Amino acid sequence: MDDRPALEHVRLTVNGATFERDVEPRRHLGDFLRHDLNLTGTHIGCEHGVCGACTVIVNGAPVRSCLMFAGQANGASILTVEGLASADGELHPVQQAFWNRHGLQCGFCTPGMIMTVVALLAERPEADEGEVRDAISGNLCRCTGYETIVDAALDAARASREDT
Ligand code: FES
Ligand code: FES
């Protein structure tokens, strides 16, 4: 007898493209993105909601993709780090600011950091240092000491304000 749980049919939008897949109910969104859609830019660290490496934007809000089942994302619009740069390769202002400020070393935390900052600045382009530090307080970085990440986020905030 096959006692595996029935698959769930999921239809969602990722970085502007629509995908449909049948997934196991226990498949979390991070593994779904990485293994079913081959979007490996989203990193998986702790897999229990602590490190923030797996952060993606779901319907405009930052979400830890290890804590959300793929089935729960049915119908959602998701943005991952692969969806930030323009088609011609121009970096998103937050990516460019991380590049300029050396806001990464090994890069493991970087996609989650960037998605967290993108979500913050979409809501609060005027975010100050305290708000930036608060926003990234759930994202762990083993390398940078955070200072250059904060500098990058503040640069990106300035750039987005100047653009508007
Ligand atoms: Fe999701 Fe660490 S892998 S919070
Ligand atoms: Fe290595 Fe953040 S750059 S964990």
At residue 2, the pLDDT reads 73
Do 79 and 51 share a structural domain? yes
At residue 164, the pLDDT reads 66
Q: Does 70 sit in the ligand 1 pocket, CB within 6 Å? A: no
Do 67 and 17 share a structural domain? yes
Q: Provide the domain count of the chain.
A: 2
Whether 70 is covered by a domain: the verdict is yes
| pLDDT in single tens digits along all 164 residues of the chain | 677 889 999 999 999 999 999 999 999 999 999 999 999 999 999 999 999 999 999 999 999 999 999 999 999 999 999 999 999 999 999 999 999 999 999 999 999 999 999 999 999 999 999 999 999 999 999 999 999 999 999 999 999 888 76
Whether 51 is covered by a domain: the verdict is yes
- Tell me, in angstroms, the distance from the centre of ligand 2 to residue 135's CA: 17
Q: Does 45 sit in the ligand 1 pocket, CB within 6 Å? A: yes
Q: Does 52 sit in the ligand 1 pocket, CB within 6 Å? A: yes
Please tell me the distance from the alpha carbon of residue 105 to that of residue 138, in angstroms, as a whole number. Answer: 18
Do 99 and 60 share a structural domain? no
Domain boundary among 51, 83, 115: 83
Range of the domain at 22: 8-83
